[in-house]
Each structure stands twice: as structure tokens, then as C-alpha cells.
Amino acid sequence: MIVQELIFYAFSLVMVFAAVAVITVRNPVYAVLFLVLAFFSAAAIWMLLEAEFLAIILVVVYVGAVMVLFLFVVMMLDINLVPLKEGFIRYLPVAAIVAVAMAIELLMVLWSRGRFGVDMFPVPPPHSADYSNTRELGELLYSNYLLPFEVAGVVLLVAIIAAVALTLRTRPGIKVQNPSVQVRTRRDASVRLVKMKSEKPRGA
Amino acid sequence: MNSAQLLLAAPEFWVLVMACVIMIVDLFLREERRGIIHMLAMLTVIFAAIITLRGDFLANGLPSASAFNDSFIRDPMGDVLKVFSFVLMGLIYTYSKFYLRNFKMFRADFYTLSLFALLGVMLLISANSMLMMYLGLELISLSVYALVAFNRESGRGSESAMKYFVLGSMASGMLLYGMSMIYGATGSLLIPDIAEAIRVQGSDDILLIFGLVFVVVGIAFKFGVVPFHMWIPDVYEGAPPAVTLFISSVPKLAAFAMAYRFLSSGLGDLHIHWESMLASLAILSIILGNLAAIMQKNIKRMLAYSTISHMGFVLLGLLPGTAFGFGAAMYYVIVYGIMSVAAFAMIILLSSRGVEAETLDDFKGLNQRNPYYAAIMGLVLFSMAGVPPMVGFFAKLMVLKAVVEAGMIWLAVSAVVFAVIGAFYYLRVVKYMYFDEPENETSITAPVDFGAALTLNGIMIIGLGIFSSSLITICMTSFGV
């Protein structure tokens, strides 16, 4: 138990630190790398919760694919930070008031009648060794949550269509290679035999 | 789950399949045969209406049936809203074909994306769990963001799409946050289970109310009511009119269904809390919408502010929480869809030959240029202003009746006062059309199908007004009144 708690606190601390760093560091590349660190610590905490499938997916999909792509984008774009910070001071008072008010409301909710205290939630019994997290999730997704699952697929399809519709520009008159035509070409298309008299050496 | 349950979602399946079919068919079509895409889209909408009407929910007044482990519900209210979405969609496609051809934007993407948005509308109307609501909402939003930026040459279009995207994502975040609070308090995603949990544990839970606030913010953004209205004028002005036609009509029907299912079916026991929230949103919208519209010189922005005030009226119908009030709000939202589609069709009609009609001056002397279309526009404006016997009058009447019955006289009185102030800017356009000299003498011509659709639209506005009891009865029976 002690070991588990130690692991939990270690990863939680790292995660909170990384999350704060994401929004405070100046260099966007560092921010992305800190986000990777935050994701990784979250994956470790999920592992403690016996949600191993989600933990692996988080590392494989988010850290492995999404964040790497994101890093490429950040490195490709020449982001100038100065215009982004314009108006920061001007809007700060209003933003601060809203943020403080929301934070106070949140704290009031969190402290209301001990709804979120540790004593409110009993420790869940650990699952047996042959319990498969992946299988349970799959069974739920394809039974109870079939319709949401399919609709989520449609949402992704729409995202693809929208991205293509907004960025694809077909320009007329581009010279493109057509391999099939290239392969099917005949000798007559490019070779022309010309009959001509043999040349005599000059000055002969 | 058996096949009878699957068949409940038959209209949704049909629209999904046809959206994909249209996307594929377009790949094999040459430029000059694009008309086929339009025909296919019309066919999709017509058959979707037929399939929905075949479901026997409208005729027999069956209570409701659910499928997919209760996350999908089919009931008379949903069917009425869906059928009217299809009717509006048919009108929208007919109007927008004229615009898209004129402005050389006749591409299949418009049809695929708008059909996916229609699918989102249908799913949101039938959503019976918070998860489905969110997914339906995102399906609509994503398609609409892309549609707003549909004219890639227009800088304003991209700008408004970006604004809409950023604000829309914020609103989605708020909604999700509220949903997570409600899930935390009740332990379920399903609307009936949430209602049951609240009944058992009582409604004076600060966590629930906290979640409710965020959910109301999300719904208010979707309706575009004050103070969550900032995106409406910019998006209406920046988007191509063919897209504004859609944004201003069909998604509002879905927003109504979502508000009803979430607030009444799910959080009905919290009525005392959301009643006051909706009341302030509604009255602010009616005041700001009507006052700001007076100052607009741009017809699209004027209609945008008029939308805000009309949505305030829809909230007025929702807030008493009575079956009569919901029926009235549903009637109002359908009527508003019909009127708004006709108004934007007139903008499309005036912006022929590559120049968009944007200012009120474009309407000057419309009567001399084409008396028939001027008369239809007159009908639309009188209806929006709430002049009897047009349908807009009855919509306002029913909503106000519901508010008065609930004992909120001051709310009804102030709504009427500002509606009367609002009548000024509608009548100003009428004055421009009939009493001013045209700046542009060219006569106005439209293709046959456009004229036919606009005529039908005008007949709906006056016909549903004179025979107002027909649609009112349909809306009221959906809520068992």
C-alpha cells in the first residue's frame, strides 16, 4: 500500500508540475514536451487504477502519434509570441475577476457537505489476475454504447471531409506524371527514323 | 436489441448512407453533371421525411420508444421536429443551388457537409443521453464550421468561421463540464435515470445546480441568446447566404429539442432554478436583439439581431416548464425556421450576378423591380414583426399565453413592448421596398424551382397563419396538451 501511495504521489506531483509548465514556459516546443510528460504521468496513474488499456492507449495514441504531429506543427510554424501577448495587460483585470469568481464557486462546490472527501469513496476491491480491462471496455463499447461509438466515427469522418474541403485546391494545368501512360508508351512515340545520306568528311 | 428497435433509427441511417453515397458519386461526376448531386440530396430529404412519417408516431400518438440501451428516443415531438427539418432542408437546397451556381461554388462538399449536419440535428433531436447530445451537437458544429468557411476566397468567411470555432469550442467545453457535474451528482448519463436519481436524492444539491448553470450556458450558446450571442451577427454576415440559410433555421429546432429533453425530462425537478436563468436570458435577448437591430444598415446583421430576439421568445415559451409552454416554444421555433429561410432566400435572390446584396439599400424599390417577390418579402417581414393574420403573430401569441398562464405578467408585458419596438425595423424594410426609388433598375429573375419554393414558403407563412390551429394542434399533441 505504501509503495502504491508513493508511486501515486510521485506521478501526481510530476503531472501537476508539467501541466503548470505547459502554460507558463515561453518556448512552445518546451510546452509540447511538458504536455507529453503530463500525459505520461497520467498514464502511470491510470495504470495504478487498473485501467491498463486506457493507459497504453494514452501513451501510444497521444504521446506516440498526436503529440509528435503536434511537435512537427509547432516546429514548422514560425510562431511569433509578441502579437499573442498583446492586450494581455489590458484584459487582465476582467479576466482575473472572472477567473477568481469561478475558482471560488468551484471551491464552494468541492467543499459542499464533503461530497468529494476520501471517506466518501471506499477503496475498490482489486480485480483478479484474469480480468481483462480491454475486453470489458470492448464489450461495453459494442453493446451499451454502440450508437455513440458509431456516431463518434461519423464525427471523425466529417472532420476529414471538412479538412479536405477547406484545404484541397485543384489547380488547372499542372504537369503530372501518369505512370500507366508512361509504361504503355510505344517505340514510335519517341523514336523517329530519318533517312538521310551519309555525310562526307568536310574538306575532302 | 432487436431489429424493430434498430428500425426506430431508420431515418438517421438513411441520411447517413446517402451522405456517404453523395460523397462517392461526386468523385465520378464531371463538372457539368453536378446537378445530379442536387437531385440526390433532394431525394435524400424527401425519402427521410417519408420514412419518418411511416413510423406511425405522428398518426397514432404513441408515447415513445427507445433503442440502443435508451440512448436514442423516438417520440411524436422528435418526429414533428425532424419532418420540419426535412421540409426546411428541401427549401434550403432549392434556394442555395441558385446561389452556389451564381457564385461558382457549386461543389458537392456543400451537400455532404450539410447532410452530415442534418444527421447531427436528427441525432440531437432524438438524443436521450448526455453522451448522444454532445455527439449530435459536435456533428452539427463541425459541419457548420466548415460550411461557414466554404467560400475559400472570402477572408470574412474564414474570419467568422474561426471566431465561431473558438467560441463554439468554449461552449462545448462548458457544456461538457456541466454534464460531468451532473453525472457526478446522479451517476448516470441517461436522461430518464438522471431524473430518477434527482427524484430520489432531492434537488437541493449544489453540485447539481452548479452543473445546471454550465448546461444552460451551453444551450444558450446554441440558441444564440444574450449574453452568448456574440457569434451570431459575425457568422451571419461572414458566411455565404446559402449557409446562413441553414444555420439560422434547422439547428434551432435541434437546440429546442435538446433544451426540452435536458431541462424538462432530465432536470425537471430543478425547474425553480432554471426558470429564473432562462427568464433573464430571454428578456435580455428580446431587449438587446430588438434595439441593436434598429441600428443595422446591413440586412444580414439586422436579421441576425432579429434571430436573437426571436430566440428570446423561444426561451420565454420554455421557461414556465408547462406542457403548454413547451408546445408554444416548439411552434415558435418551427415558425421562425420557416420565416428565416424565406428572408435569407430574398437576400440570395437579390444578390445575383456575382454581387452579394448586403445593405438595406438593396431592397429599395423592390416593388418596381418585381412586385411578386416584394409581396412575399412583405409577408415575411410582417410575419416576423408579429402582425396578424401571418403565422408569426400566432407564434408570439401562444408563447405569451404560456407565460401569462404561469403568472409572469411583467415578463410578457416587457416582451410585447420590445416586440413592438422591433416592428420598426421590419417595417422600415417594407417602406424601402414600396416607397423608395430603386438604385438599380435591373429586373429580378429566378429559376422556376427557386420561384416555386419561395411561393410555397410564402403560402406556408400566410396559410399556417390563417389555418393556425393545424400546426398548433400538432405541436400541442406532441406534449399531450
Residues of chain A contacting B143 with CB distance shorter than 8 Å: 158, 162
Collapsed DSSP state (helix, strand, coil) of residue B65: strand
Determine the Cα–Cα distance for residues B210 and B196; give it in Å rounded to an integer.
Answer: 19
C-alpha cell belonging to residue B330? 416548439
Collapsed DSSP state (helix, strand, coil) of residue B67: strand
Low-confidence ranges of chain A (pLDDT < 70): 79-85, 112-115, 117, 203-204
DSSP class of A170: -
Indicate the pTM of the whole model.
0.90
The DSSP secondary structure of B90-143, one letter per residue, reads: HHHHHHHHHHHHHTT---HHHHHHHHHHHHHHHHHHTB-BHHHHHHHHHHHHHH
Q: Which of B1, B9, B119 is opposite residue A154, by nearest beta carbon?
A: B119
Q: Are B414 and B286 in contact (CB under 8 A)?
A: yes
Q: What is the pLDDT of residue A84?
A: 67
- Check if A147 contacts B (Cβ < 8 Å): yes
The DSSP secondary structure of B323-349, one letter per residue, reads: HHHHHHHHHHHHHHHHHHHHHHHHHHH
Q: Smallest Cα–Cα separation from B244: which of B181, B324, B301? A: B301
Whether residue A169 and residue B152 make contact (CB cut-off 8 A), yes or no, is yes
- Check if A108 contacts B (Cβ < 8 Å): yes
Q: Sort residue B407 into left (φ over 0), alpha (ψ -120 to 50) or beta.
A: left
Q: What is the pLDDT of residue B61?
A: 56
Q: What is the pLDDT of residue B48?
A: 95
Q: Which of B112, B135, B207 is opposite residue A152, by nearest beta carbon?
A: B135
Collapsed DSSP state (helix, strand, coil) of residue A192: coil
Q: Smallest Cα–Cα separation from B217: which of B272, B168, B265? A: B168
Residues of chain B contacting A162 with CB distance shorter than 8 Å: 113, 142-143, 145-146
Collapsed DSSP state (helix, strand, coil) of residue B359: strand
Collapsed DSSP state (helix, strand, coil) of residue A203: coil
C-alpha cell belonging to residue B266? 432530465
> Residue with C-alpha cell 426546411?
B88
Strands B72-74 and B65-67, sheet pairing: antiparallel
- Check if A168 contacts B (Cβ < 8 Å): no
CA torsion sign for B440, B443, B444, B445 is negative
Chain B residues within 8 Å of chain A (Cβ atoms): 1, 9, 16, 23, 67-69, 71-72, 107, 109, 112-113, 116, 119, 123, 129, 131-132, 135-136, 138-139, 142-143, 145-146, 149-150, 152, 181, 206-207, 210
Name the β-bridge partners of B72: B67, B127
Determine the Cα–Cα distance for residues B110 and B238; give it in Å rounded to an integer.
Answer: 16
CA torsion sign for A100, A105, A108, A109 is negative
Collapsed DSSP state (helix, strand, coil) of residue B320: coil
Per residue in B331-365, is it b (16+ CB within 10 Å) or e — as a string? bbbbbbbbbbbbbbbbbbbbbbeeebbbbbebbbb
Q: What is the pLDDT of residue B404?
A: 94
How far is A154 from chain B, CA to nearest CA, in Å? 8
Determine the Cα–Cα distance for residues B255 and B199; give it in Å rounded to an integer.
Answer: 25
Whether residue B16 and residue A145 make contact (CB cut-off 8 A), yes or no, is no
DSSP class of B190: B
pLDDT in tens, chain B (481 residues): 677 778 889 999 999 999 999 999 998 988 888 889 999 999 999 999 999 988 765 555 567 888 888 899 988 899 999 999 999 999 999 999 999 988 888 888 999 999 999 999 999 999 999 999 999 999 999 999 999 998 888 888 899 999 999 999 999 999 999 999 999 889 899 999 999 999 998 877 888 888 999 999 999 999 999 889 989 999 999 999 999 999 999 999 999 999 999 999 999 999 999 999 999 999 999 999 999 999 999 999 999 999 999 999 999 999 999 999 999 999 999 999 999 999 999 999 888 666 777 888 888 888 888 899 999 999 999 999 998 889 999 999 999 999 999 999 999 999 999 999 999 999 999 999 999 888 777 778 888 999 999 999 999 999 998 998 889 998 998 888 7
* Interhelix angle B391-405/B323-350, nearest 10 degrees: 150
Whether residue B142 and residue A165 make contact (CB cut-off 8 A), yes or no, is no
The DSSP secondary structure of B220-239, one letter per residue, reads: HHHHT-TTS-THHHHHHHHS
Q: What number of residues does chain B have?
A: 481
Q: Which of B109, B135, B150 is opposite residue A155, by nearest beta carbon?
A: B135
User: Exposed, middle or buried, A5 (CB in 10 Å: 0-12/13-18/19+)?
Assistant: exposed
Whether residue B206 and residue A108 make contact (CB cut-off 8 A), yes or no, is yes
Whether residue B142 and residue A158 make contact (CB cut-off 8 A), yes or no, is yes
Whether residue B135 and residue A148 make contact (CB cut-off 8 A), yes or no, is yes
How far is B345 from chain A, CA to nearest CA, in Å? 25
In a mutagenesis test of the A interface, which of B8, B142, B165 is the best target, namely the one with the most A β-carbons within 10 Å?
Answer: B142
Using CA atoms, how far residue B419 sits from A177, B249, B285, B299, B422, in Å, is 64, 20, 11, 18, 5
User: Is it true that the peptide bond before B227 is cis, omega within 30 degrees of 0?
Assistant: yes
Q: What is the pLDDT of residue A7?
A: 93
Angle formed at CA A127 by CA A125 and CA A129, multiple of 5 degrees: 145
ipTM of this predicted structure: 0.91
SS (HEC) of chain A:
CHHHHHHHHHHHHHHHHHHHHHHHCCCHHHHHHHHHHHHHHHHHHHHHCCCHHHHHHHHHHHHHHHHHHHHHHHHHCCCCHHHHHCCHHHHHHHHHHHHHHHHHHHHHHHCHHHCCCHHHCCCCCCCCCCCCHHHHHHHHHCCCCHHHHHHHHHHHHHHHHHHHHHHCCCCCCCCCCCHHHHHCCCHHHHCCCCCCCCCCCCCC
- Check if A176 contacts B (Cβ < 8 Å): no
Angle formed at CA B414 by CA B413 and CA B416, multiple of 5 degrees: 65
Per-residue pLDDT tens over the stretch B346-403 = 999 888 666 777 888 888 888 888 899 999 999 999 999 998 889 999 999 999 999 9
Residues of chain B contacting A151 with CB distance shorter than 8 Å: 123, 132, 135-136, 139
Whether residue A143 and residue B136 make contact (CB cut-off 8 A), yes or no, is no
Collapsed DSSP state (helix, strand, coil) of residue B248: coil
Q: What number of residues does chain A have?
A: 204
The domain segmentation of chain B, as residue ranges, is 3-478
How far is A107 from chain B, CA to nearest CA, in Å? 11
Whether residue B131 and residue A148 make contact (CB cut-off 8 A), yes or no, is yes
Q: Are B123 and B79 in contact (CB under 8 A)?
A: no
Question: For chain B, how long is the longest CA-to-CA vector?
Answer: 69
